Amino acid sequence: MDLNDTPEQAAYREQVRAWLEEHKSEAPVLEGPDALPEDQVVDAHRAWQRKLAEAGLAGATWPKEYGGQGFGPIEQVIISQEIARARVPGILDVIGVGMLGPTIIAHGSEDQKSRYLGPMLHGDEVWCQLFSEPAAGSDLAGIQTRAKQEDGGWRLTGQKVWTTNAQFSAYGLILARTDADVPKHKGLTMFVLPMDAEGVTVRGLRQITGDAEFNEVFLDDVKLDDDMVVGQVGNGWGTALTTLMFERVTIGFGSEGLGYRPQRFAEAIAGDEAAVRDGDVRQRLGHITTELLAVRFTSYRMLSALQQGQIPGPEAGLSKITTVNASIAACDLVADALGPDALREDTDSQLSYHTSFLPGLKSAGGTEEILRNTIGERVLGLPPEPRLDKGIPFSELRAKEKEAAAR
């Protein structure tokens, strides 16, 4: 057991640190009082990603032939740690480089790889993930966006939701139903969607916070050529699973990835003598800290396993559950300690923002219930719930549901 770098890792860390030291003055300021004007943020961030990519600090785990370094996860973590240490932003397109690029590497055609991966890595073309729909969240395979085949291509109609970055993306990876007459997991296909195609409309979706953290994307008879299919027609679910596996790795990093650190909450109350001396405040803070520290070391365990070539299982979702719930408890604690003043929305503290934002995060990336189901069944080997949708053609299933809801 060793948390320290091997000599090779230490050397690599030194190299990354040196590059960042030299270039950090070129990094854009995205937050705080010196932040760039909002309308310059995306372009500045994009330019910074290009520099990181040129230095080999973006997509380090991608194979060399597609512009990566062919590194393992530890080196990627070293990059992330050093970026955090230098207090500069990471890349702009974490969804593309972290999840969608790897999906194209695994399932895309050679033409797709050579066309899309380079611009993605360099931030020239940002990507978004178009999976979720209003009626397909927890039950992701219940996708209703239809793709009808026609000569040499497809026509897509439907609606996607919870799409991060759609407002400035060049492309999206979209999951659509190409066959409604087979059971629901079987009739799906994955496509590349140019976001500027005719019939694509992006609309910001305001959250409880008042900000549009996500988008809705509407598709009205959007034409796609055959060469936009990723993987095989009808195998969209299998392709999506690859994306979700990479998402899982990210989720496994829980509070670390989400930036909810215990100090942040402690600092908020440390100035109030009565709070610091209150037994209830201290117990709650101690509990929250314990949970968030545990997530940190769970992520090290996962990283260690990744490094040994193991694929993380669904238990990675536990870190997301822990992080979200502990962070919710922390916001609650701070508001109890500071009173209504903790809920002011016109400051930099972001506590009020997180108070509003976190309840929605409970449902993102799989609700807690779905995660617990999956872990119970796949990891603990518990029997599944009876499934009423198994083997039933999708079109029939919808009709049944409508009927049941009407009762």
Partner 1 sequence: MNLELSDEQQFLRDAARDALSRTKTIEAARETLDGGARPDLWPTAVEAGWAGLLVSDENGGAGLGAFDAMLVMQEAGRRLAGIELLGHLPASALLDTGGYAGIEAVAAGERRAAFVGAVPPGDLDPEWTVDSVSGMSRAPAPTFDGSTVTGEVAWVVDAPGADVLVVVAVQDGSPVAVVVEDASVEDVFRYDPTRRLGHVRLEGAAATPLQADVAAIERAWYLAQALLAAESVGAVEACLEMAVAYAKERFTFGRAIGSYQAVKHGLVEIMRRGENAKSLLYYAGWAHASGPEEFAIAASACRSAASDALDYAARENIAVHGGIGATWEHDAPLFFRRAQLSRRLLGGTGASIDRVAGELLAGSAPGPVAPEGPTGAAATAVEG
Summarize as ranges the residues that interact with a second copy (CB under 8 A): 278-283, 383, 386, 388, 404
User: Contacts with partner 1 in 70-89 (CB under 8 A)?
Assistant: 73-74, 76-77, 79-81, 83-85
Q: Is position 264 an interface residue for partner 1 (rule: CB under 8 A)?
A: no
81 in the Ramachandran plot: left (φ > 0), alpha (ψ -120 to 50) or beta?
alpha
Residue 85's binding partner out of a second copy, partner 1, none, with CB under 5 to 8 Å set by partner kind: partner 1
Give the SS3 label for residue 390: coil
Sequence-distant (6+) residues with CB within 8 A of 150 are none
- Residue 204: CA atoms inside 13 Å, Cβ hemisphere, count? 8
Nearest approach, Cβ of residue 306 and partner 1 (Å) = 8
Per-residue b or e along 349-366, where b marks 16 or more CB atoms closer than 10 Å to that residue's CB: bebbbbbbbbeebbebbb
From partner 1, a second copy, none, interface partner of 228 (C-beta below 5 to 8 A by class)? none
Q: How far is the CB of 383 from a second copy (least distance, A)?
A: 8
Catalytic residue among 133, 247, 256, 291: 247
Instruction: Choose between 340 and 386: whose C-beta lies nearer to a second copy.
Output: 386
Of 40, 109, 232, 307, the residue at the interface with partner 1 (CB under 8 A) is 307
Q: Give the angle subtended at the CA of 335 by the CAs of 332 and 339, to the nearest 5°.
A: 150
| CB-nearer residue toward a second copy: 337 or 351 | 337
Q: Which residue number, 79 or 285, has a Cβ lying nearer to a second copy?
A: 285
Applying CB under 8 A, which of residues 66, 162, 191, 237 lies at the interface with partner 1?
Answer: 162
Q: Are 363 and 357 in contact (CB under 8 A)?
A: no
Question: Please, what is the minimum distance in Å from the beta carbon of residue 235 to partner 1?
Answer: 21
How many CB atoms sit inside 10 A of residue 382's CB? 11
Write down the least CB distance from residue 388 to a second copy, Å.
6
Choices 29-37, 150-158, 218-226, 361-369; region in contact with partner 1 by CB under 8 A:
361-369
What minimum distance in Å lies between the beta carbon of 281 and a second copy?
Answer: 7
CA dist., res. 121 & res. 275, Å (int): 47
Q: Cα(215)–Cα(218) distance, rounded to whole angstroms?
A: 10
Q: How far out from the chain centre does Cα 208 lie?
A: 19
Closest approach, Cβ 226 to partner 1, in A, equals: 27
Query: What are the structure tokens assigned to 186, written together?
Result: 């079987």
- Choose the stretch contacting partner 1; rule: CB under 8 A; options: 27-35, 115-123, 219-227, 255-263: 255-263
Nearer to partner 1, 84 or 241 (CB): 84
Closer to partner 1 by Cβ: residue 223 or 264: 264
Answer yes or no whether residue 315 interacts with partner 1 by CB under 8 A: yes
What tokens does 392 get? 């039933």
- Nearer residue to a second copy within complex by CB, 220 or 280: 280
Contact 153, 366 (CB under 8 A): no
Amino acid letter, residue 185: H
Beta strands in 120-187 (DSSP E): 127-130, 146-150, 153-161, 171-177
188 forms part of the interface with partner 1 (CB under 8 A): no
Q: Which residues between 274 and 303 bind partner 1 (CB under 8 A)? A: 274-283, 285-287, 289-291, 293-301, 303
Q: One-letter amino acid identity for 319?
A: S
Binds partner 1 (CB under 8 A): choice among 44, 253, 330, 354: 253
Q: Does the annotation mark 247 as catalytic?
A: yes
Cβ-based burial of 263 (10 A; exposed 0-12, middle 13-18, buried ≥19): exposed
Residue 379: contacted member of a second copy, partner 1, none (CB under 5 to 8 Å, by partner type): partner 1
Strand pairing class (200-205; 188-194) = unpaired
| 17 interface partner picked from partner 1, a second copy, none, CB below 5 to 8 A per type | none
Geometric angle at alpha carbon 239, from 314 and 100, rounded to 5° = 85
Compute, in degrees rounded to 10, the torsion defined by CA atoms 395, 399, 401, 405: 160
Residue 218 lies near partner 1 (rule: CB under 8 A): no
**Binds 376: which of a second copy, partner 1, none (CB < 5-8 Å by kind):** partner 1
Amino acid (1-letter code) at residue 387: R
Q: Among a second copy, partner 1, none, what does residue 249 contact (CB within 5–8 Å per kind)?
A: partner 1
> What residues are annotated to the active site?
247
